[in-house]
Amino acid sequence: MNVTAQFLSTGIAAALVAAASPAWSINKCVGADGKVSFQEQACPGKGGAIEVRPASGMAPAPVQQPAPQGGPAAPAAAASQAAKKEGVFGETYRRKLDLETHLISSTRAELNGHLQSCDAQQRALAAKKGQARNNLAGATWEQSISAEMQAAATTCDTKARDLRSRLEGYEKELRELKASK
């Protein structure tokens, strides 16, 4: 086995062991000389456990121990879990920030751009319709342009309703997130 393959297999094995273990405990210890060290074992002197989280910031849920047979479940533990907040930069914060900085403004801009495009399209078709001659061929052409204008207006209206609905949904979600705080 060459060195690269051995390194890869060792790295894969280490990753599998790390993924298989449900929790990783690290202790920050202060020695008699004041030197700080980090270790997996409990500190013999001064120091204590620190919480280690993955890079995503979301720690895996702790494993709940079953209540003893015949004993009541621990209501204090359940209450503390319910009272536990998601943190400063949690999922709610990120969603609210995304709504405020990107989703609402981009949807509003898309709606305004769409309405302007539809208006320009209708003006161009109306100008084209004004060029029709006052004869049978001109009347037929004017009628086909009128049908094209109607179809374009229907398409524009459908997309505008969809964009307005999406915008209203984002604004409602933002109001609810702000109110829940």
CA distance 30 to 39: 11
Q: How does pLDDT run across 9-29, given as a tens digit for each residue?
A: 555 544 444 444 444 567 778
pLDDT at 171: 93
Structure tokens at 80: 């503390």
pLDDT at 17: 44
151 vs 54, which has greater pLDDT? 151
**Of 50, 51, 54, residue with least CA distance to 19:** 54
pLDDT at 3: 45
Q: How does pLDDT run across 74-95, given as a tens digit for each residue?
A: 455 544 444 455 667 788 888 8
DSSP secondary structure letter of residue 65 = P
For the chain, percent of residues with pLDDT exceeding 90: 35
Cβ contacts of 82-91, under 8 Å, gap ≥ 24: 87/57, 89/57
150 has pLDDT over 90: yes
Chain mean pLDDT for the chain: 75
162 has pLDDT over 70: yes
Stretch (H or E) spanning 98: helix 91-98
Burial zone of 96 (CB within 10 Å; 0-12 exposed, 13-18 middle, 19+ buried): middle
Stretch (H or E) spanning 29: strand 26-30
CA distance 114 to 122: 12
Q: How does pLDDT run across 44-53, given as a tens digit for each residue?
A: 777 666 666 6
125 in Cβ contact with 145 (< 8 Å): yes
- This prediction's pTM: 0.50
CA distance 105 to 167: 9
Q: How does pLDDT run across 107-126, given as a tens digit for each residue?
A: 999 999 999 999 999 999 99
19 vs 181, which has greater pLDDT? 181
pLDDT at 56: 57
